[in-house]
Amino acid sequence: MSHDRYGLGRVVGVDDDVAVLVDFGTETYRINAPYTKLVKL
């Protein structure tokens, strides 16, 4: 995944279609739906 602010990351978890956990290397962020700033690569 790629995020406008955080860069390249990897999805490591999904919270009941409400949010995803994305590991960006240095930190892991919980990103809430809708995922407008995430781009699947």
| Mean per-residue pLDDT pooled into runs of 10, the chain (41 residues) | 94 94 96 92 90
Q: What is the pLDDT of residue 17?
A: 85
Interatomic CA distance for residues 33 and 20, integer angstroms: 8
> What is the pLDDT, as a whole number, of residue 13?
96
Q: What are phi and psi of 6, to 5 degrees?
A: -95, -15
Q: Is residue 22 within 8 Å of residue 2, measured between CB atoms?
A: no
The model's pTM is: 0.84
